[in-house]
Amino acid sequence: MSTRLGTGGSAIDRSRPVHFTFDGRRLAGLTGDTVASALLANGERVVGRSFKYHRPRGIVASGPEEPNALLGIGTGDRFEPNARATTTPLREGMALRSQNRWPSLAFDVGVVNAALSRFLPVGFYYKTFMWPRRFWESVYEPLIRQAAGLGRAPDAETRDPDRYEHFHLHVDVLVAGGGIAGLQSALAAGRAGAQVLLMEQSPHWGGRAQVDGVRIEGDPAAEWVARAVAELEAMPNVRLRLNATVVGAYDHGWMLAVEMPEPGPRERLWKIRARRTVMATGALERPLAFAGNDRPGVMLASAVRDNLMRYAVSPGDRTVLVTANDDGYRTAIALVEAGLSVPLVVDARPECNGPLPRRAREMGIRVAPGRAIAGVRWQRRITGVDVCLQAGEGSALEHVPCDAVAMAGGWSPAVHLWSHCGGRLRWDEATAAFRPDPQFPPTGADGQAAILPAGSADGHSRAVEVLASAHRAGVAGAAAAAHEGDAGQVVTAEEGAEAPALAVWRMPQSADHRLRAQTFLDFQNDVKLTDVELAAQEGYRSVEHAKRYTTLGMATDQGKLSNINGLAALSHTTGQAISAVGTTTFRPPYTPLTLATIAGQARGDLFQPVRRTPLHARHEALGAAWEPVGQWRRPYVYPKAGETVEDAVRREVLAVRSEVGILDATTLGKIIVKGPDAAQFLDMIYTGRPSTIAEGRCRYGLICNENGFLIDDGVVARLGPETWLCHTTTGGAERIHAHMEEWLQTEWWDWRVHVLNVTEQFGQIAVAGPLARNLLERLGGMDLSREALPFMHWTEGRLMDVPVRVFRISFSGELSFEIAAPAGRAGEIWDRLAQDATPYGTETMHVLRAEKGYIMIGDETDGTVIPQDLGLNWAIAKKKDDYIGKRGQMRLHMAGERWRLVGLLTPDGAVLPEGSLAVAQGTNANGQRRTQGRVTSAYWSPTLGRGIALGLVDRGPERMGETLSFLQPDGSEYRAEIVSPVFHDPEGERLNA
Amino acid sequence: MLTLRCPCCGVLADETELAPGGTAHLRREGPEASDEAFEAYMFLRDNPRGVHFERWRHAFGCGKWFHAARCTVTNEVFGTYPAQTAAPPEEVLEAIRRRRPEWER
């Protein structure tokens, strides 16, 4: 049984108990505990079930590399799945739930998978679910989806009540990791004068040095750490953050970090631009590969030591240590010093006579050299281990009763940040680890190394080397930002000497198949030694392929523990050296990010900026239904009490056709083009000739891209000798403004033209309907008679004493005016008009324009349509030498058999489904039915009392009267006759009224 | 995420402030162009492994277009310069040669 010891524990406060529940049971821990240490202190060794075989699993590690102890934490709105127990601080009242088990942790139905494991080989999904094909959707996929995933996602209807925020910061030197290396780097960089940010993922400074008994400058590491932190806190140019993990390295020194501030928002995402980053991220201890290494109670030796020293938690009364290096002995020594029993140290090395093994022996600990673990005996808890020869096949020599196992497989530098942005690794035989390759660092904008490795992350294991490399990195980081102050001296350190470690990739050396099939490499994804071997046999010899086939290292821990052991297994099976096998690519983030952290405050009202017209409040008061158009909110329709949307559209359309309606047209883009060369510039931008528009007149214009395709349309008004006002579509204002700027700045930079987007400076109101002029004349102030202001003219004046421009233009086919007033005063005019006119929304506007056969950018165009397809040849100045898109439109396939604009009418007046395809005879090269056209817009027309549609049809205008068949996905068919696209007032009498 | 110095306003801009504009120094082909020349202008681009001249707009800053010389392998930036030019300025070419002696235009 794991338990809390009566004394010790550097991180806990015994006077302040913390109460929590685990699967409903009430337990108590101490202030300073992690969730993991509190569970262990309560004897809870089984904390979850594994992903595939549902084997009981316990806590293995003491940091972010923990693969098993993922819990659901909290309830209701604050429930969070897959929280790592080892990095989550214990809080009063916490409700913890184990995951991936049903119905209970102790008895789990899914464990049947383990009995079936022979039939669930690696690549099982790929092999089994290939056939029969029709089973995929109905049987396999639902089953897999139900079985997949570890924790349960929070209820979709809940809303996270906590606050999350983003921080932005520029620094000279970011130091990732607050162990002795990180502290020394920060000291060196800070003393030299650099702006430094030092981040440590845990709540403690100093890392492992204090747990490992290192002495620095003659004192225990803890004392040096306290002095270093005090000096750093006193520096105004240094920021320190605990509980903050640097999770990603990106281009040009852009770094991501996640902080769990205390107090503050729940999580904080740091977006850091660092000139240099010191990677002082330490190293991760590797598990050893022996049969039964996944049993709850088998832990990393370093984690056993951490729990003992920091939280006074023992993993068990009798702990067997299995190791291949001297470092592991520190755990055995610490356990015995704490009064616990270590019945045996199993050391794979034939000789183990270094200072630490010697000291262990002197303390009376029995050491068995050249030995391995042949199996872990398990009866709902560990009862003992069988010991065999490391050199053999696994015949048990002796049985040693115990209730916990500590494994020390050597250390892998945490090189993730180095790899995130392209740094290469080299395999170092001496330390049996991948180390950062200084020849190929990740580089920044200046082409120099952006990340400087330090300490054990750089492969150093002795404290004196760790501190020296950290000092160098700190000095180099500061120098890169031209801070060359006195960085102080390299500090000295002492610790016990260590004999060489042995790289042990499997235990025992020639373990038989039965043992290898119980030897786990990836605890979270249940990948065994035999799985990697099978993958290699089946031809997955590349590390990237083997990874995906076996899912090794693809769980939420991203293979922090399993990576190297998996590579070694692949190397052994394929007979290649590990350096030749290489490693998979580490990708950000180092630890998982919650979606809420990524979202930050960008949710709800703050999700994106909303653009409101000056008339927004009036629409709201009228009960408008909103349509998002880009970031604008436009009234879609104004339903009255008891009206459906369809009713309201019908009422609004008929009001415009028979009386008068008003539309908020503010969102239409308004771009001023001005200058001595504005005329020739506009003649290049538009397909027509805006240069020939007379002052006081308006003209419809088309804008194409260089490919010849139509990208925007709108009315251009000439304001003065050198000034034009270009109206664009609602979505086009920013885009067309940018388009004009691009051509002006990058092609015709010597033309004297200014372009200004004044869309938001004006409130614009369309007044449309037979009574429009009558209504406007009642406002007083301007002569808007047919003679004074004919169709396609504009004028300036004052309406109700508000300065306005009035454009006599129409998008509805009715007598229509558009009034542009200063944004702040448009409301006065709207209020007066609304007394006598019917407000109408964008849906009504669409029906009106479709009845008239007017095109809509984005409906009738899709980026492959040229103006000629839409019958707009009249808006193209054919004799003009050049305009943007002219050469594109001269290509062969832009003429001849193209889909062109027509009207479509069903015989019974039904509305054609938008997007329907007209089928033709025969099939194409892919065996699909040929098509000859599609419906681009379709509405119920209240004016005509029937459905109408616009569409693009192959040679459409030449085929008037033909009937097309529009097949639907459900097999039904619509038939429609090709007609003129102008359904209403083809002569334009109402327009010109 | 890249940072580029806008030669117009002098700001060291984050990529989020910038809009990319593809290859720099293309010559526009108008109505007289042959099919081949127009195709090359519209569609055919080099995809060099190494030095690349490219267009950027300081879209959420001063709004100006500029050019950058960047290594597509390492993202090293050799220099940025205003877009109102048909060829890279000599000091940018020199900076490239200093860092990539083997490079040829």
Residues A715, A647: contact at Cβ < 8 Å?
A: no
Give whole-number Cα distances, A129 to A133, A134, A136, A145, A216, in Å. Answer: 8, 10, 7, 13, 59
Cβ neighbors of A359 (< 8 A, separation 6 or more) are A329, A333, A496
- Beta carbons of B75 and A443 less than 8 Å apart: yes
- Residue A183 CA neighbour count, 13 Å, CB half: 26
Q: Which amino acid is at A116?
A: L
Q: Span A460-485, mean pLDDT?
A: 95
Q: Is the peptide bond before A132 cis (omega within 30 degrees of 0)?
A: yes
DSSP string, A119-134: GS-TTHHHHHTTSSTT
Q: Chain A closest CA to B37's CA: distance in Å?
A: 11
Which of the residue ranges A77-86, A813-822, A884-893, A947-956 would you say has the lowest mean pLDDT? A77-86
- Whether pLDDT at A148 is above 70: no
Q: What's the rounded Cα separation, in Å, for the pair A166 and A78?
A: 20
Tokens of A167: 């921080």
Pairing state of beta strands A25-31 and A13-22? antiparallel
pLDDT of the residue at A126: 58
Q: What's the rounded Cα separation, in Å, for the pair B49 and A238?
A: 39
pLDDT of the residue at A121: 63
Residues A308, A334: contact at Cβ < 8 Å?
A: yes
Residue A478 CA to chain centroid, in angstroms?
A: 32
- Beta carbons of A447 and B76 less than 8 Å apart: yes
Strand partners, B20: B56
Which of the residue ranges A369-373, A613-617, A985-989 would you say has the lowest mean pLDDT? A985-989
Q: Span B85-92, mean pLDDT?
A: 96
Q: Which of A389, A393, A396, A293 is nearest to A348 (CA)?
A: A389
pLDDT of the residue at A266: 92
- Whether pLDDT at A581 is above 90: no
- Beta carbons of A742 and B28 less than 8 Å apart: no
Tokens of A363: 């303390």
Strands (E), A752-848: 754-757, 762-768, 794-799, 802-807, 816-822, 838-839
Contact list, B85 vs chain A (CB under 8 Å): none
Q: What is the pLDDT of residues A9-46, one digit of tens each?
A: 999 999 999 999 999 999 999 999 999 999 999 999 89
- Whether pLDDT at A89 is above 70: yes
Residues A24 and A76 in one domain: yes
Q: Which amino acid is at B22?
A: G
Which of the residue ranges A91-100, A232-241, A292-301, A861-870 would you say has the lowest mean pLDDT? A91-100
Q: Write down which residue in A384, A409, A434 finishes a domain.
A: A409
Average pLDDT over chain A reads 93
State whether ipTM is beyond 0.95: yes
A-to-B residue pairs, Cβ atoms closer than 8 angstroms: 70
Residues A135 and A255 in one domain: no
Q: Write down which residue in A527, A558, A581 finishes a domain.
A: A581
Residue A407 CA to chain centroid, in angstroms?
A: 36
Alpha carbon distance, N-terminus to C-terminus of chain A: 94
- Beta carbons of A887 and B63 less than 8 Å apart: no
- Beta carbons of A443 and B3 less than 8 Å apart: no
pLDDT tier at A120, thresholds 50, 70, 90: low
Give chain B's contact residues with A (Cβ, < 8 Å): 1-3, 14-15, 19, 21, 28-31, 33, 35, 38, 42, 55, 57, 59, 63-65, 71, 74-77, 83-84, 99
Give whole-number Cα distances, A950 to A506, A705, A982, in Å. Answer: 71, 24, 9
Among A residues 57-116, those touching chain B with beta carbons less than 8 Å apart: none
pLDDT top residue among A118 and A515: A515
Pairing state of beta strands A267-279 and A164-176? parallel
Residues A133 and A17 in one domain: yes
Q: What's the rounded Cα separation, in Å, for the pair A150 and A142?
A: 16
CB neighbours (10 Å) of residue A192? 25
CB neighbours (10 Å) of residue A385? 28
Residues A364 and A381 in one domain: yes
Residues A384 and A457 in one domain: no
Q: Span A383-387, mean pLDDT?
A: 97
Domain that holds residue A453: 164-284+413-487
Residue with tokens 């015994």: A14
Residue A629 CA to chain centroid, in angstroms?
A: 25
For chain A, the domain total comes to 6
Q: What's the rounded Cα separation, in Å, for the pair A628 and A638?
A: 15
Q: Which of A912, A844, A846, A853 is nearest to A650 (CA)?
A: A844
Residue A596 lies in a domain: no
- Whether pLDDT at A498 is above 90: no
Residue with tokens 């489904």: A913
Q: What's the rounded Cα separation, in Å, for the pair A202 and A661?
A: 65
Q: Which of A891, A894, A829, A907 is nearest to A864 (CA)?
A: A894
Residues A231 and A360 in one domain: no
pLDDT of the residue at B13: 95
Q: What is the pLDDT of residues A824-841, one digit of tens each?
A: 999 999 999 999 999 999
Q: What's the rounded Cα separation, in Å, for the pair A238 and A233?
A: 7
Give whole-number Cα distances, A288 to A135, A285, A427, A499, A568, in Å. Answer: 41, 10, 19, 19, 12
- Whether pLDDT at A528 is above 80: yes
Q: What's the rounded Cα separation, in Å, for the pair A279 and A418?
A: 8
Tokens of A792: 């396609």
pLDDT top residue among A797 and A129: A797
pLDDT of the residue at A493: 85
pLDDT tier at A118, thresholds 50, 70, 90: low
Alpha helices in A602-732 (DSSP H): 616-621, 645-658, 678-685
- Beta carbons of B57 and A443 less than 8 Å apart: no
Q: Span A696-720, mean pLDDT?
A: 98
Identify the CATH number of the domain in which residue A575 sits.
Answer: 1.10.10.1100
Tokens of A351: 């000789």
Residue to mutate among B28, B29, B60, B67, with most A CBs inside 10 A, is B28
DSSP string, A150-170: SSPPPPTT----S-EEEEEEE
Cβ neighbors of A751 (< 8 A, separation 6 or more) are A675, A677, A680, A681, A744
Which of the residue ranges A136-140, A404-408, A842-846, B50-54 would you say has the lowest mean pLDDT? A136-140
- Whether pLDDT at A198 is above 90: yes
pLDDT of the residue at A130: 54
Residue A619 lies in a domain: no
Which of the residue ranges A155-164, A366-375, A953-962 would you say has the lowest mean pLDDT? A155-164
Residues A220 and A72 in one domain: no
Which of the residue ranges A111-115, A556-560, A748-752, A918-922 would you say has the lowest mean pLDDT? A111-115
CB neighbours (10 Å) of residue A240? 20
- Beta carbons of A254 and B1 less than 8 Å apart: yes
Residues A276 and A300 in one domain: no
Which of the residue ranges A361-365, A574-578, A815-819, B54-58 would you say has the lowest mean pLDDT? A574-578
pLDDT of the residue at A155: 81
Residue with tokens 């929590």: A20
pLDDT of the residue at A213: 85
pLDDT tier at A984, thresholds 50, 70, 90: very high
Q: What's the rounded Cα separation, in Å, for the pair A423 and A637?
A: 57
**CB-based burial, A592-607: b 16+ in 10 Å, e otherwise:** bbbebbebbeeeeeee
- Whether pLDDT at A176 is above 70: yes
Residue with tokens 């004196």: A464
- Residue A932 CA neighbour count, 13 Å, CB half: 17
Strands (E), A665-761: 669-674, 698-704, 710-720, 723-728, 754-757
Q: Span A467-492, mean pLDDT?
A: 94
- Whether pLDDT at A293 is above 70: yes
Tokens of A895: 């003429």
pLDDT tier at A147, thresholds 50, 70, 90: low
Residue A466 lies in a domain: yes
pLDDT of the residue at A146: 56
Burial class of residue B1, CB neighbours in 10 A (0-12, 13-18, 19+): middle
Residues A168 and A150 in one domain: no
Q: Span A245-268, mean pLDDT?
A: 95
Residues A436, A329: contact at Cβ < 8 Å?
A: no
- Whether pLDDT at A125 is above 70: no
Alpha helices in A836-919 (DSSP H): 842-851, 886-889
Alpha helices in A852-955 (DSSP H): 886-889
Tokens of A750: 């010597």
Give this prediction's pTM: 0.90
pLDDT of the residue at A131: 56
Residues A188 and A71 in one domain: no
- Beta carbons of A890 and B42 less than 8 Å apart: no
Percent of chain A surpassing pLDDT 90: 81
**Chain B residue with minimum CA distance to A255:** B1
Which of the residue ranges A124-128, A171-175, A246-250, A951-955 would you say has the lowest mean pLDDT? A124-128
pLDDT tier at A127, thresholds 50, 70, 90: low
- Beta carbons of A447 and B55 less than 8 Å apart: no
Q: Write down which residue in A734, A760, A786 finishes a domain.
A: A760
Chain length of chain A? 993
Residues A4 and A132 in one domain: yes
Among A residues 743-762, those touching chain B with beta carbons less than 8 Å apart: 745-747, 749
Residues A888, A707: contact at Cβ < 8 Å?
A: yes
Q: What's the rounded Cα separation, in Å, for the pair A224 and A749?
A: 63
pLDDT top residue among A824 and A156: A824
CB neighbours (10 Å) of residue A497? 10
Which CATH code for domain B18-25+47-105?
3.30.2270.10
DSSP string, A393-406: S----EEEE-SEEE
- Beta carbons of A882 and B63 less than 8 Å apart: no
Strand partners, A56: A49
Cβ neighbors of A226 (< 8 A, separation 6 or more) are none
Whether residue A723 lies within 8 A of chain B, CB to CB, comes out as: no
Chain length of chain B? 105
Residue with tokens 């339903």: A639
3-class SS of residue A435? strand
pLDDT of the residue at A500: 84
Strand partners, A727: A670
Residue A107 lies in a domain: yes
Residues A259 and A338 in one domain: no
